[in-house]
Structure 1
Amino acid sequence: MAAAIEIQQLSKLISDSVATLLKATSDAGVELPHLNESFAPPSEAFRGIPAAADAANIIGTAALQLAIAVLPPFDSLFQVVTGPTRSAALRVCVECHVPELLREAGPEGLSAQEIGARCGVDGSKIGRLLRALANRHIFREVTPDVFTNNRLSSLLDTRKSFEALKADPFTKHHDTPGFVALVEYFLSDGHTATAHLLENMKDPKTAFSGEPNHAPVQKALGTDLDLFQFMELPEQRYRHQRFGVAMGGVKAMEHPDVINNAYDWASLPRDAVVVDVAGGIGNAALSIVQSAPQVSVVVQEVPSVLAEARIFWKRENPEALSSGHVRLQVHDFFTPQPIKNASVFLLKNILHDWSDSYNVKILTHLRAAATPSTVLVIVGNIMDYTCLDTDQDAQSISGSSFKPAPAPLLPNYGIANEMAYNLDLAMLNWHNAQEYTVKGLRELLAQAGWKLSHVTRRDPPGNFLGSAQAVPI
């Protein structure tokens, strides 16, 4: 009886949420995208309607929970067991430039044999890969053995010509938004690293280590260097440039207001100093300058990244750079922080690259340079438990509480929050690091002399990245 009641609850949640989604989009005059159409950014407009976004999250997580409740448990389990096989199939298609080939072929698609001939692989084999992916709604089989792109697979298209990619695969990701580079990064080094996770966790040398060169990826790549050092090697030029472009792909997945939601930059006084620690080329800093032109921003990075940053700022805001309003400064965050009058230190997607002991070093240097009024702003994934959090200390922090998903769904919205958990495991495999829960972040900050004072949740939960603020103890 309990199972029947839960199935009815899930079914009603889906039905009610579908009605909410359709009404919200109809009232706003916004079209919902179709799975068989190519992806275009305007097709995501419906997620800007809070009621529609929340309904979509409930539909997605309830549908998965309902499917798992009624399908054979062996089948549901094997969807996870065989995940690496589907990842490998997708890697073949991405690195053989199949999405570009199918885009050029048009909606009628191409036969598996034609795809194989153009890509230089066995047509019958790649057809089987495409069919397995189409069964999960990535690509579409329009007639037997004939395939075309759909909404999901079109995201894997660099928009370059198939022939150009075949002629010069090294520059595949140049001048692209970066999402395909991010996918390829996950499917290659990320995929092989996961295959060594068990051995890494049982090896006495690495099992309890927090060293960045003791991650599974070292076993996969056969190196003693941490991943950042490895990609700096001259022979790893493709990996290095792909990673740089992939970070742009991460930005494309973020909510456009993630930086503005992290702190009220406009409230800072004139000539306040914001230090973007390890700020990359300055994407976050650009958002700050646009919303708070009265502040001065220092972007700190290693020399190779700052060389790219100069190109970025000369293109996006040359006046800010030439006036000194934005400064680019070489700095290693494992050494003492040179800026002693910062109003705000910003750490965006930094802490998840390092284990606790390394993060304590980073945070301690910032604390030593902080004034009593300095605020530390951390932008990254704030991890939720898959059950209700009963930690009163964590729940007492401003903004940390959130409205759980309706029963019988997982309170964290389940699959609608999947990206955060995927990234947490990626950090484990690549850097021997992690994303943090509110409790974990509070405890980490306290070790370095900071007090977690506020958390900004993702809203709705499926949005990429949240943020936190801390003040000196």
Structure 2
Amino acid sequence: MSVIKELARIINEGVNTIQSKCDASGKPFPSLDEPYTPESDAVRIQVIADALPIIAAANQLIATLQIPAMSIIVASGYVHVSAAFATIAKANVVEALREAGPQGLHVKEIVEKIKKPMDPAKLARMLRICATYHIFREVAPDVFTNNRISSLLDKGKPLKEILAKPLEAFDESPGCAAFVDILIDESFKAAAVTQDHLMDPSTAFSDEPNQLPIQRAMHTNKALFEWYDEPGNELRRRRFNIAMKESVKFEVPGAILQGFDWGALPKGSKVVDVGGGIGGTTMALYDIHKHLRYVIQDREAVIKQAQQVWQTERPEALENDTLALQPHNFFEKQPVKDASVFLLRTVIHDWSDRYARTILTHLRAAAAPYTQLVLVDQVAPLACSEDGISDVPGATAPTAPPPLLPNFGLAGSMVYNLDIQMILLCGGEERTVLKISQLLSSAGWKLQRIARVPGNLLHKIIATPA
């Protein structure tokens, strides 16, 4: 069978499987034309494994059939989509369209509502390229409305309130909006100078967190998290913390509860959420496992914001001493010596090996014989076939069948996008299994297993004192 026929077969059989499961559940697969809701998207969770090869095959089929020159030009031109997308998001267009309802708004009316000095004709062109990529819909000439994808950028507040209190725009938002806003702000600006940065002998080989594209773009010598604490960056700091707190909702529901038996920990066991931000991960654990005690550690400015969040959302955790909020620099000695679990969710990937090793070494020095280290991070596969670490359960990732790329191509591409994000902003990386094992070993930890949650971006990397 030819490659294009085989790709078509994978798509056809996969779609039939998904449709059968939807029919059996009595729930339709969500339409692109409808705004996103968690309830309507619930069926997707049931078919994630079926969808991955379809997405991979569809993208590979497009790459095969498309004129090669057109493929590379379109890929290079994604910057134009990002520019349009960034402008639309910053202007609060999504919220204006939500308030208008499914009939949409003409671009002239959008400009009036968002109170920005924008040219409606240019806004229409920005929205049209996004609609071509299935972000927004053009329902009539120059009339646009939200769709399933664009609605995820909704901050969930009245437009009037966002305009009146811009610093609080992302507070209590669903989270996706905050995460995307980081990409179209810091990341987008850093990306513009990346080629200069990576080919500059003075920065090309640096692993310092204050010698990255973001510093070049923003004209600062402060590392990202120090820069966030600078005057003038209050919105960026709040937005980042909210994005990290809410990012647990981007995962498979209950993913943090899977792959590690939190319930088996004895009553009163201490879970230390190192670099835990304002506590989104801990909150998800606390809601189910109230027999445990929790410590959230982060920078002082972050802990102040965490205090406000927990006082509002889970005040009883503070009142009954189930939770302690502790300012701590994880590059210094770890003060907690009786932790049952050191939990680090999307922390180690932020740092180059030298800095990550320092964090892990301090944790190893504070670890008791019974302490377990749980890293929640992505595990980066290669784009070719590879051998795993055979003696570590979960080390070998599932691979796609030929003729698909072993890493599922576009369907598995998020890890590589975030890997470049690390180059731009933090200096870390999304590591392969081998690199993870070597890093842990160098800091006195032994990799015991990798718990992979099907369909989830993040996996649990579990280690014990070596």
Q: TM-score, normalised by structure 2?
A: 0.95
Map 1:75-154 onto structure 2 (within 5 A). Answer: 75-118=70-113, 119-154=116-151
Tell me the secondary structure at the aligned position of residue 469 of structure 1. Answer: strand
Equivalent-residue separation in structure 2 for 1:174 and 1:341 (angstroms)? 34
Tell whether 2:466 aligns with 1:469: no
Q: Corresponding residue for 2:217?
A: 220
Greater Cα shift, 288-297 or 53-62: 288-297
Quick check: 1:450–1:472 contact (8 Å CA) kept in 2?
yes
Q: Corresponding residue for 1:211?
A: 208
Q: Corresponding residue for 1:264?
A: 261
Quick check: 1:262–1:377 contact (8 Å CA) kept in 2?
no
Map 1:305-454 onto structure 2 (within 5 A). Answer: 305-391=302-388, 394-454=389-449
Tell whether 2:30 aligns with 1:33: yes
Tell me the secondary structure at the aligned position of residue 235 of structure 1. Answer: coil
Tell me the secondary structure at the aligned position of residue 189 of structure 1. Answer: helix
- Alignment: residue pair count: 464
After superposition, the C-alpha distances for 1:129-183 in whole angstroms (9 at most, x for unaligned) are: 1111111111111122222211111112223333443344333222312221211
Equivalent-residue separation in structure 2 for 1:242 and 1:320 (angstroms)? 24
Quick check: 1:21–1:55 contact (8 Å CA) kept in 2?
yes
* Unaligned 5+ runs, structure 2: none
Identity of aligned residues (%): 39
CA displacement at 1:416 relative to structure 2: 1.7
Q: Corresponding residue for 2:172?
A: 175
After superposition, the C-alpha distances for 1:4-51 in whole angstroms (9 at most, x for unaligned) are: 7110000000000011000011111222111111111112111232xx
Write the letter of the residue equivalent to 1:24: K
Equivalent-residue separation in structure 2 for 1:314 and 1:111 (angstroms)? 42
Cα RMSD after superposing both structures: 1.8
Write the letter of the residue equivalent to 1:139: F
Map 1:159-174 onto structure 2 (within 5 A). Answer: 159-174=156-171
Greater Cα shift, 190-199 or 115-124: 115-124
1:270–1:181 distance in 2 versus 1, CA, 3 Å: closer
CA displacement at 1:262 relative to structure 2: 4.0
1:325–1:174 distance in 2 versus 1, CA, 3 Å: closer
Q: Corresponding residue for 1:240?
A: 237
CA displacement at 1:82 relative to structure 2: 0.7
Q: TM-score, normalised by structure 1?
A: 0.94
Equivalent-residue separation in structure 2 for 1:170 and 1:47 (angstroms)? 34
Write the letter of the residue equivalent to 1:468: I
CA displacement at 1:434 relative to structure 2: 0.9
1:117–1:288 distance in 2 versus 1, CA, 3 Å: closer
Tell whether 2:153 aligns with 1:156: yes
CA displacement at 1:375 relative to structure 2: 1.1
Quick check: 1:116–1:124 contact (8 Å CA) kept in 2?
no
Tell me the secondary structure at the aligned position of residue 298 of structure 1. Answer: strand
Quick check: 1:454–1:468 contact (8 Å CA) kept in 2?
yes
CA displacement at 1:313 relative to structure 2: 2.9
1:355–1:368 distance in 2 versus 1, CA, 3 Å: same
Tell whether 2:77 aligns with 1:71: no
Quick check: 2:277–2:302 contact (8 Å CA) kept in 1?
yes
After superposition, the C-alpha distances for 1:25-83 in whole angstroms (9 at most, x for unaligned) are: 1111222111111111112111232xx22222222111111111101111211221011
Quick check: 1:262–1:379 contact (8 Å CA) kept in 2?
no
Write the letter of the residue equivalent to 1:296: R
Equivalent-residue separation in structure 1 for 2:288 and 2:157 (angstroms)? 34
